[in-house]
Amino acid sequence: MKVIIDGEAVDFELGETVLEVAQRVGRSIPTLCHEKRLDPVGACRMCLVEVQGQRRLQPSCTWKATEGAVITTQSQRIDTHRQVLLSMYVADHAVDDQGLPKQRGVGNQLRDQVLEYGTGPQLPQLPLRRAVREHDANPYIHFDAEACVLCAACVRYCDEVEAVNAIALVERGGRTTIGTADQQGLLDSSCELCGGCIAVCPTGAMTERPSLGIPPAPEPIRSTCNFCGVGCQVDLHVTDGRLTRVTSPPPGTTVNDGNLCVKGRFASEFVHHPDRLQTPMVRRNGVLEPTTWEDALQTAAKGLLGVKRRHGADALGFVSSSRCTGEENYLMQKLARAAFGTNNCHQCAAT
């Protein structure tokens, strides 16, 4: 089946949306509320396109491609719609001295789209009427009501991906905001503090509380989370030699599909903790002393061989960590079996 997009015949499969087909052939259609892991809702109206035979512009994220449909993604009518819509968003958004949406968290897609597409008539700034949960004492997730565009991506993620339903759209009209049951803090709700709401927020209204005011690193470093054996991929933001925040890679690119748990996203304080060991230690006369790697390894080998000589190989046991790589865990069991002659090896992820 084929659909005509900007004069080009494009193949599509039954069930695909116009947005999916257009993005596959390189057409640029802006979105705010769309996220690959979530069901499309057409809330932000940034992705409207012209469909021949339809009187109104249609949201490409929800409009299904049909055989022979003629779609236009760029026109004066669409440009005018986007610019007026962006003016309305800016009027209900915190702005900087240049009148642009403030940069927050790891980015503000609304700001980027204003810079790319421009705005229509300048509208007066609306007073903030949304309730702000200043009393929320959770240590990880910060919500800025002034930066929210009510796309509900965070609410939908909490429902559709995490199945937790900790947050919801509350109030009505201009007072609508992101809240919880009885507007209680996240620590008193069903929230798991996974930070997925931060990952899907297009404007930075949801952001990492420990990293407030710290800009994202220009080139995050891809790494593997070391808190369990799943192997989730993480992007480490390092500034001036210090880890400032951990974010998830884009969905669909790694084993964790852009998701992280509370430990993977927030439990990175240990990296710069003053009590963290930075050199090998050997216990002599009951006291741990710094030493070299060569001395530490020789001391460990000597102790293990001494146990084997006195009590036999099966008196030894080797336990590897799920925080190690698969290759490191393989070497641990090889060390147990080949070097010391015992099958007493275990991996903590098995429990």
CATH of the domain at 102: 3.10.20.740
What is the widest separation between alpha-carbon atoms in the chain? Answer: 88
pLDDT at 351 over 60: no
Q: Which helix (H) or strand (E) holds 70?
A: strand 70-72
Q: What pLDDT, on the 0 to 100 scale, is given for residue 41?
A: 94
Q: What pLDDT, on the 0 to 100 scale, is given for residue 229?
A: 74
Q: Which of 117, 137, 169 is the last residue of a domain?
A: 117
**220 plus 305 within the same structural domain:** no
What mean pLDDT do residues 289-314 have? 96
Strand pairing partners for 281?
290
Alpha carbons 18 and 5: distance in angstroms, whole number: 9
Report whether 286 contacts 276 (CB < 8 A).
Answer: no
Question: Picking from 80-84, 94-98, 310-314, 347-351, which range would have the lowest pLDDT averaged per residue?
Answer: 347-351
Q: Which of 276, 299, 316 is the last residue of a domain?
A: 276
The rounded mean pLDDT for the chain is 92
Percent of the chain with pLDDT over 90: 75
What mean pLDDT do residues 165-179 have? 92
Question: Picking from 102-106, 177-181, 335-339, which range would have the lowest pLDDT averaged per residue?
Answer: 102-106
What mean pLDDT do residues 1-5 have? 93
Quick check: is 307 in a domain? yes
- List, in order, residues 6 or more apart from 160 with CB less than 8 Å away: 37, 38, 39
In total, how many domains does the chain have?
3
Quick check: is 184 in a domain? no
Quick check: is 195 in a domain? no
**328 plus 259 within the same structural domain:** no
pLDDT confidence bin for 68, thresholds 50/70/90: very high
What mean pLDDT do residues 168-187 have? 91
Strand pairing partners for 70?
4
What single letter denotes the amino acid at residue 270? F
**331 plus 258 within the same structural domain:** no
**228 plus 313 within the same structural domain:** no
**86 plus 110 within the same structural domain:** yes
**265 plus 326 within the same structural domain:** no
Q: What pLDDT, on the 0 to 100 scale, is given for residue 143?
A: 93
Report whether 89 contacts 99 (CB < 8 A).
Answer: no
Q: How many CB atoms lie within 10 A of CB 268?
A: 19
What mean pLDDT do residues 26-37 have? 94
> Which of 256, 269, 44 has the alpha carbon at shortest distance from 152?
44
**32 plus 99 within the same structural domain:** yes
pLDDT at 14 over 70: yes
> Which residue is it, tokens 């949306």?
17
Quick check: is 318 in a domain? yes
Q: Domain range holding 290?
A: 281-350
Q: What digits encode the pLDDT tens for the residues 197-243?
A: 999 999 999 999 999 888 888 899 999 888 887 889 999 999 989 99
What single letter denotes the amino acid at residue 137? A
Q: Which of 276, 301, 325 is the last residue of a domain?
A: 276
